[in-house]
A = this chain, B = another copy of it.
Amino acid sequence: MQQLLAVDWGSSSLRGALLDSQGRVLKERSFPRGILTVSPGDFATVFEACFAHWTGAAGTFCLISGMAGSKQGWLEAPYCACPAGFDEVASHLAWIRAGRIAIVPGLSCEHEGIPDVMRGEETQVFGALQLLGLQDGLLILPGTHSKWVHVAGGRIRDFSTSMTGEFYALLRQHSLLARSLPDTDGELDGEAFDEGVALALRGAGLLQTAFSVRTLSLFGRMAASRLPSYLSGLVIGEEIRTHALPAGMPVVLIGAEQLTERYQRALAQRQAVVRRVGAEATWRGLWALAQTIHPSWDP
């Protein structure tokens, strides 16, 4: 097995890593060239400009996950319907250059007639399962649009999206509450965060609990500097309140350390046993997928 160029091409950033045949990361680079910055038809040029010096080596296979496979991306890789595992995803790659560059499809599922979708997270989930040696469990990928993913027998059975990060940004920047908050978030205030989580967990919903940011400020019961952490706790707590936590099953948090730490802290109020995996999940997932399709790409 030769080298793998693993690429995570999302809406707002483009990251790549060169992996050897054992899955070890040799080099890593990041560019502010998310798909929203690339005009249709320019994807090949941007890709070459960023990674040509890596793809030049004979036997380098490239696998790309993320929004590059969306309608607005490089080449549309239609969603695979859940339940779906390595095999389904590996057999539905969208090939940019036969045997050399491929895009990993996202997944879709449906609840009572309402579709849900992910692109990129499926690869992180597969990577985390490999890294942790798991076949079953609940995996949470916090973010602008958080995903709660249920895995059984190594396959993604089902998932749901919560617009948690986006709601935080909307309330933080554009709502009436913004007037009570300082200009920048500052360090996390753990106690204020915990209070927000606690209220969300016992509350009736974010439409109501969010107003407490205003009233706590109005009555001088919480200093302005603590309110961003409190609001963060409210929205993350709301996400947790509105999902079932399976008893006795490990919960895996995947994502940047700062964010998964917050979720771990919030989930502690629900007595969840948590394991955390970082950005390495993406590289590991792409490497695992590349191994599955190995016969077709090893020159």
Partner-B contacts on A (CB < 8 A): 112, 114-117, 144-145, 160-164, 166-167, 170-171, 173-176, 199, 202, 204-208, 210-212, 215-216, 218-219, 221, 235, 238-239, 241-243
Contact = CB atoms under 8 A, between A and B. Distances in A.
Given A170-B170, A202-B112, A211 B175 contact: no
A171 B167 CA distance: 8
B208 A206 contact: no
Given A117-B218, A145-B211, A205 B238 contact: yes
A45 B241 CA distance: 50
A162 B205 CA distance: 9
Task: Report copies per complex.
Answer: 2
Contacts of A164: 207
A242 B204 CA distance: 6
Contact of A207 (B167, B215, B218): B167
A160 B205 contact: no
Given A117-B215, A205-B206, A205-B242, 16 more contacts: A115-B212, A115-B215, A115-B216, A144-B176, A161-B208, A161-B211, A163-B175, A170-B170, A170-B174, A173-B174, A204-B242, A204-B243, A205-B238, A205-B241, A207-B238, A208-B242
Given A163-B175, A208-B162, A114 B238 contact: no
Contacts of A207: 162-164, 167, 206, 235, 238-239, 242
